[in-house]
């Protein structure tokens, strides 16, 4: 149990809320609990750098107690929470949550409860690591499932290459235009550049039917090659066809 010389413990509060009213209410509750100093922070779910929390943790000394109104005010994830609690325990600093009576390391029961939960959290962490290893071994992809399949992403890039807007393409697949905009950052960047350079490639990806079949294109290329090799004969043939016409 944390205790300073003389049996006097200094309690420091930490308040965090997304609005000013939430922070004020937490500060009042922490003051009523006997906190000598309260560190306030206005931060939403998207913020990951909690500067005031860092200041509070640095301010604490062995024998002090960190107090919050709820466990969710101290950390956004279970892993982050128990990492902080582990650091506090190693430096002989107590922790107390007003709204969670069992989360109180100044009592023996609270320390036992948090130790058990910390062990379960570490067990869950190891399971997650094992799952990630198995997925990578199978060649799987981590993260959220893609909204568009492979052929849809490929076709969407081709449509962008021929001048269609992100909004029009997104409407086809019922996704946000930002989803289409991020396709250029995927593995299809090379294909997108090629499609822009060669409009014919883009038309093929879109599925438009060629006007000439394979053999017809091959014969036409052969005739062009022959005309370049023998320009005089090609001129005579052209003149003869014009006279017949």
Task: Judge contact between 99 and 13, C-beta under 8 A.
Answer: no
| Tokens 């560190």 found at | 39
In terms of Cβ atoms closer than 10 Å to its own Cβ (0-12, 13-18, 19+), residue 118 is middle
CA dist 32 and 26 (Å) reads 10
- CA-nearest of 206, 173, 177, 175 to 191 is 206
Active site residue 72: no
Cβ-based neighbours of 206, under 8 Å, separated by 6 or more = 155, 158, 159, 162
Q: State both tokens at 48.
A: 């990951």
Of residues 18, 51, 72, 108, which has the active-site annotation?
A: 18
Element (H, E) at 94: strand 94-97
Question: How does 80-110 read in b/e, with b if 16+ C-beta sit within 10 Å?
Answer: ebbebbeebbeeebbbbbbeeeebbbbeeeb
CA distances from 177 to 43, 103, 145, 148, 169 (A): 29, 46, 17, 12, 8
CA dist 31 and 14 (Å) reads 11
Give the residue numbers marked as catalytic: 18
């Amino acid at each position: 149990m944390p205790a300073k010389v003389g049996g006097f413990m200094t309690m420091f509060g930490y308040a965090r809320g997304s609005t000013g009213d939430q922070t004020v209410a937490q500060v009042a509750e922490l003051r009523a609990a006997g906190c000598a100093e309260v560190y306030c922070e206005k931060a939403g779910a998207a913020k990951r750098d909690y500067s005031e929390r860092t200041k509070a943790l640095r301010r604490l000394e062995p024998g002090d107690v960190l107090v919050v109104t709820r466990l969710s005010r101290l950390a956004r994830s279970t892993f982050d929470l128990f990492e902080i609690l582990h650091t506090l325990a190693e430096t002989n600093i107590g922790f107390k949550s007003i709204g969670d009576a069992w989360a109180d390391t100044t009592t023996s029961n609270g320390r036992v409860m948090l130790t058990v939960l910390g062990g379960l959290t570490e067990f869950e962490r190891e399971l997650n690591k094992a799952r990630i290893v198995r997925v990578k071994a199978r060649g799987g992809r981590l993260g959220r499932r893609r909204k568009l399949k492979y052929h849809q992403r490929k076709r969407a890039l081709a449509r962008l290459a021929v001048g269609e807007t992100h909004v029009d393409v997104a409407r086809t697949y019922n996704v946000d235009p930002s989803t289409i905009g991020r396709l250029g950052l995927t593995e299809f960047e090379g294909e997108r550049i090629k499609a822009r350079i060669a409009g014919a490639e883009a038309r093929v990806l879109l599925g438009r039917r060629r006007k000439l079949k394979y053999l017809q294109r091959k014969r036409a290329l052969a005739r062009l090659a022959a005309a370049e090799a023998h320009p005089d004969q090609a001129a005579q043939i052209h003149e003869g066809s014009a006279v017949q016409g």
